[in-house]
Amino acid sequence: MKTPLSSSSSPASSSSLSSSLRKTRLSPYLFALLSFIVFVSILYGEDLVCIFGQQRQLRPTSPRPGPRTGELTRPSISSSNVEKTDSETRGARPAGGTIYEAAVDGVLRSSEQRKSGASGGEPVIPFAIGRGEEGCDVFSGRWVRDESARPSYEESECPYIQPQLTCQEHGRPDKDYRNWRWQPHSCSLPRFNATLMLETLRGKRMMYVGDSLNRGQYVSMICLLHSLIPEGSKSMETFDSLTVFTAKDYNATIEFYWAPFLLESNSDNAVIHRVTDRFVRKGSINKHGRHWKGVDILVFNTYLWWMSGVTVKILKGSFEDEVKDVVVMSTDDAYRMGMKSLVRWVQKNMDPKKTRVFFTSMSPTHGNSEEWGGEPGDNCYNQTTPIKDPNYWGSDSRKSIMQVISEVFSKSKVAITFLNITQLSNYRKDAHTMIYKKQWSPLTPEQLANPVSYADCVHWCLPGLQDTWNELLFAKLFYP
Ligand SMILES: *[C@@H]1O[C@H](CO)[C@@H](O)[C@H](O)[C@H]1NC(C)=O
Ligand SMILES: *[C@@H]1O[C@H](CO)[C@@H](O)[C@H](O)[C@H]1NC(C)=O
Ligand SMILES: *[C@@H]1O[C@H](CO)[C@@H](O)[C@H](O)[C@H]1NC(C)=O
Ligand SMILES: *[C@@H]1O[C@H](CO)[C@@H](O)[C@H](O)[C@H]1NC(C)=O
């Protein structure tokens, strides 16, 4: 079907959403989802108006020395470098654990890869220095209060956190959200070793690619590492969609590349990406992908931007075409198309003997407190404790999308390490930035009178939850 793409498109209001809803006769569940999406789109409007200094031309990609392959000598996680063990839960089944029992080892491999692994010895995994504990799903566990071990750094000690995420600076009254440590049910996580991480990155590039949630994880990684680097030998610069943190003495960079859909879209401008009518261009991954080439460790995410409705508009021609060739796809099919493009790009451009690719699953939001037994009309605002119900799963974390990821990645010829952070983050209704962040426009008296109405229940305070995502990345990088 051919649809002209008008520039003065009507804003995605809840009324237009509900009328399209009536047309398609969808369930109340989707209705709740849609109201959440309206809320998300409000939040994304102010996303990235901030930060990281001046804009410049995108840096030409410079050739880098070839990556070294990590030795596979150290046998397993030694007791000296593991987090405190929670002895009473060691080896225990997750409470009520039938729903989430699929203990994926994190690396989703194709059946051929598994076969060759079995017959031809262990495949060499770049950067691995040991193996994770047999049969342990590090993503299945619980939050343990541990004031002695968390937070890993202070907010005031990390100057790289964007004002969108500095909650203490913006008046958050409680601090407990920083004191939780993730404890897998049947093993312990290796302790995050910043020295090892930095030494490993010597002469290398690590890059996070995706949306503002991935940027939060990126900044968390820099906060976890930067104190080892003296002033004057580290810097952070932004070049259009690319932000580069450089550790000069290590000849290493940790980078973030803004591409909320991974594919080309009309939301790609790193500063002005508030668009009411979103289009994603099919088969366009190389547009951004050329900036990811030569990277040694890639960490992708993409999710929330696909969720602006029950369908996604896919552009088949180019954005320059006068009459746009647009097809409307279900969100699952559109997301599958995006995931397939990603896998093809990885197969074509990444050397599985020298590089690693990670994919972070969907980051949950907490926009409706009724889902965890709260009062109607409330959301993450004023939440100070994690959700205790081990089976809690917010409706905005679409299981069908999880299924799509699993299907597409399991057919990949190269291993993509899956960071399945959705469940553990779902418990953390207390970890969002809420109202404690830089507000980009003055608040109205109505808003001030009702903080729930402008609370950000999408992004996460730093230090906080996203440090754990990087601890899991660390675990899977060195002990896959
Ligand atoms: C550091 O990286 C640059 C390219 O980014 C390369 O030209 C140079 O040889 C590297 N130096 C060392 C000591 O590895
Ligand atoms: C951290 O890694 C470094 C470099 O590999 C190593 O020398 C050090 O012993 C490690 N620290 C801990 C606590 O394991
Ligand atoms: C926030 O929570 C505290 C204690 O749980 C309560 O006393 C207070 O009224 C709540 N504030 C709002 C605005 O809901
Ligand atoms: C991720 O974890 C959830 C909950 O633990 C599970 O239901 C889901 O199947 C996992 N996803 C994949 C792709 O393994």
Total number of domains constituting the chain: 2
Place of tokens 């990281």: 52
Which residue's CA is minimally distant from atom 4 of ligand 4?
100
Looking at the structure, do residues 19 and 131 belong to the same domain, yes or no? no
What's the pLDDT band for 275 if we cut at 50, 70, 90?
Answer: low
Considering only CA atoms, which of 175, 173, 171, 218 is closest in space to residue 48?
218
Distance 140 CA to ligand 3 centre (A): 31
Contact predicate 442/383, CB 8 Å = no
* pLDDT tens sequence across 100-115: 222 234 444 443 344 4
Q: Which ligand is nearest to the CA of 426?
A: 4
Between strands 416-419 and 107-108, the pairing is antiparallel
What's the pLDDT band for 309 if we cut at 50, 70, 90?
Answer: confident
Place of tokens 């983050």: 425
Place of tokens 């597409």: 408
Q: Which atom of ligand 1 is nearest to the CA of 251?
A: 1
- Beta-ladder partners of 300: 209, 359
Contact predicate 280/263, CB 8 Å = yes
Distance 213 CA to ligand 4 centre (A): 19
- Asked which of 80-89, 418-427, 446-455 is least confident by mean pLDDT, the reply is 80-89
Which residue's CA is minimally distant from atom 6 of ligand 4?
100
**Tell me, what's the pLDDT at 110?**
40
Neighbours of 459 (CB within 10 A): 25
Active-site residue, from 188, 212, 265, 361: 212
Across the range 86-98, mean pLDDT stands at: 31
**Tell me, what's the pLDDT at 415?**
92
Q: Is 13 a catalytic residue?
A: no
Distance 243 CA to ligand 1 centre (A): 20
- Kindly tell me if the per-residue pLDDT of 50 is higher than 90: no
- Kindly tell me if the per-residue pLDDT of 83 is higher than 90: no
State whether the beta carbon of 272 lies less than 6 angstroms from ligand 4.
no
Q: Which atom of ligand 2 is nearest to the CA of 81?
A: 14
Q: pLDDT: is 276 or 107 the higher one?
A: 276
What's the pLDDT band for 323 if we cut at 50, 70, 90?
Answer: confident
Contacts 24+ apart (CB under 8 A), 78-81: 81/190, 81/191, 81/193
Across the range 395-417, mean pLDDT stands at: 95
Looking at the structure, do residues 41 and 93 belong to the same domain, yes or no? no
- Kindly tell me if the per-residue pLDDT of 117 is higher than 90: no
- Asked which of 77-81, 151-155, 215-219, 450-454 is least confident by mean pLDDT, the reply is 77-81
Q: What percent of the chain has pLDDT over 70?
A: 74
Looking at the structure, do residues 283 and 353 belong to the same domain, yes or no? yes
Token digits of residue 143: 């939050």
**Tell me, what's the pLDDT at 280?**
95
Distance 418 CA to ligand 4 centre (A): 10
- Kindly tell me if the per-residue pLDDT of 322 is higher than 50: yes
**Tell me, what's the pLDDT at 54?**
31
For residue 324, being part of any structural domain is answered with yes
Looking at the structure, do residues 146 and 11 belong to the same domain, yes or no? no
Across the range 221-228, mean pLDDT stands at: 98
Looking at the structure, do residues 328 and 233 belong to the same domain, yes or no? yes
Looking at the structure, do residues 28 and 108 belong to the same domain, yes or no? no
**Tell me, what's the pLDDT at 80?**
54
Q: Range of 26's domain?
A: 7-52
Which residue's CA is minimally distant from atom 11 of ligand 4?
402
The CA-CA-CA angle for residues 295, 232, 203, to 5°, reads 25
Looking at the structure, do residues 28 and 170 belong to the same domain, yes or no? no
CA–CA distance from 225 to each of 62, 193, 347, 407 (Å)? Answer: 24, 9, 30, 34
Which residue's CA is minimally distant from atom 5 of ligand 1?
64
- Best mutation site among 59, 61, 62, 64 for ligand 1 pocket (most ligand atoms within 8 Å of CB): 64
Q: pLDDT: is 8 or 161 the higher one?
A: 161
For residue 76, being part of any structural domain is answered with no
Across the range 1-16, mean pLDDT stands at: 34
CA–CA distance from 438 to each of 43, 159, 411 (Å)? Answer: 12, 15, 43
Cα separation, 252 vs 219, whole angstroms: 15
Looking at the structure, do residues 36 and 181 belong to the same domain, yes or no? no
* pLDDT tens sequence across 236-263: 999 999 999 999 999 999 999 999 999 9
SS3 sequence, the chain? CCCCCCCCCCCCCHHHHHHHHHHHCCCHHHHHHHHHHHHHHHHHHCCCCCCCCCCCCCCCCCCCCCCCCCCCCCCECCHHHECCCCHHHCCCCCCCCCCCCCCCCCEECCHHHHHHHHHCCCCCCCCCCCECCCCCCCCCEEEEECCCCCCCCCHHHCCCCCCCCCCCCCCCCCCHHHCEEEEECCCCCECCCHHHHHHHCCCCEEEEEECHHHHHHHHHHHHHHHHHCCCCCEEEEEECCEEEEEEHHHCEEEEEEECCCCCCECCCCCCCCCCCCCEEECCCHHHHHCCCCCCCEEEECCCHHHHCCCEEEEECCCCCCCCCCEEEEEHHHHHHHHHHHHHHHHHHHCCCCCCEEEEECCCCCCCCHHHHCCCCCCCCCCCCCCCCCCCCCCCCCCHHHHHHHHHHHHCCCCCEEEECCHHHHHCCCCCEEECCCCCCCCCCHHHHHCHHHHCEEEEECCCCHHHHHHHHHHHHHHCC
- Kindly tell me if the per-residue pLDDT of 5 is higher than 50: no
Q: Which atom of ligand 2 is nearest to the CA of 199?
A: 4
Q: Which atom of ligand 4 is nearest to the CA of 418?
A: 13
State whether the beta carbon of 405 lies less than 6 angstroms from ligand 4.
yes
- Best mutation site among 100, 182, 400, 410 for ligand 4 pocket (most ligand atoms within 8 Å of CB): 100
For residue 189, being part of any structural domain is answered with yes
Q: What's CA 411's distance to the chain center, in Å?
A: 22
- Best mutation site among 74, 152, 195 for ligand 2 pocket (most ligand atoms within 8 Å of CB): 195
Q: Is 226 a catalytic residue?
A: no
Q: What percent of the chain has pLDDT over 90?
A: 68
- Kindly tell me if the per-residue pLDDT of 20 is higher than 50: no
What's the pLDDT band for 271 if we cut at 50, 70, 90?
Answer: confident
Across the range 397-413, mean pLDDT stands at: 96
**Tell me, what's the pLDDT at 318?**
87
**Tell me, what's the pLDDT at 320?**
85
State whether the beta carbon of 104 lies less than 6 angstroms from ligand 4.
yes
Contact predicate 176/430, CB 8 Å = yes
- Beta-ladder partners of 82: 190
* pLDDT tens sequence across 426-450: 999 999 999 999 998 899 999 999 9
- Kindly tell me if the per-residue pLDDT of 480 is higher than 50: yes
Q: Which ligand is nearest to the CA of 422?
A: 4
- Beta-ladder partners of 246: 235, 253
**Tell me, what's the pLDDT at 93?**
30
Q: Is 432 a catalytic residue?
A: no
Considering only CA atoms, which of 309, 276, 401 is closest in space to residue 21?
309
Contact predicate 228/221, CB 8 Å = no
For residue 351, being part of any structural domain is answered with yes
For residue 72, being part of any structural domain is answered with no
Contact predicate 238/53, CB 8 Å = yes
Place of tokens 């906080």: 464
Looking at the structure, do residues 257 and 113 belong to the same domain, yes or no? yes
What's the pLDDT band for 44 if we cut at 50, 70, 90?
Answer: very low
* pLDDT tens sequence across 173-192: 999 999 999 999 999 999 99
**Tell me, what's the pLDDT at 350?**
96
- Kindly tell me if the per-residue pLDDT of 389 is higher than 50: yes
Considering only CA atoms, which of 79, 77, 74, 93 is closest in space to residue 184?
93
Token digits of residue 205: 């590039």
Average pLDDT, the chain: 81
Which residue's CA is minimally distant from atom 5 of ligand 4?
100
Looking at the structure, do residues 117 and 17 belong to the same domain, yes or no? no
Looking at the structure, do residues 179 and 326 belong to the same domain, yes or no? yes
**Tell me, what's the pLDDT at 58?**
42
Across the range 297-308, mean pLDDT stands at: 96
- Best mutation site among 138, 420, 424, 425 for ligand 4 pocket (most ligand atoms within 8 Å of CB): 420
Distance 247 CA to ligand 1 centre (A): 12
Residue 198 phi/psi, 5-degree rounding, is -65, -45
**Tell me, what's the pLDDT at 353?**
95
Q: What is the pTM of this model?
A: 0.81
Q: Which amino acid is at 199?
A: E
Residues with CB under 6 A from ligand 1: 62, 64-65, 203, 251
For residue 243, being part of any structural domain is answered with yes
Looking at the structure, do residues 131 and 204 belong to the same domain, yes or no? yes
Cα separation, 143 vs 363, whole angstroms: 17
What's the pLDDT band for 407 if we cut at 50, 70, 90?
Answer: very high
What's the pLDDT band for 211 if we cut at 50, 70, 90?
Answer: very high
For residue 107, being part of any structural domain is answered with yes
For residue 28, being part of any structural domain is answered with yes
What's the pLDDT band for 461 if we cut at 50, 70, 90?
Answer: very high
Across the range 196-201, mean pLDDT stands at: 98
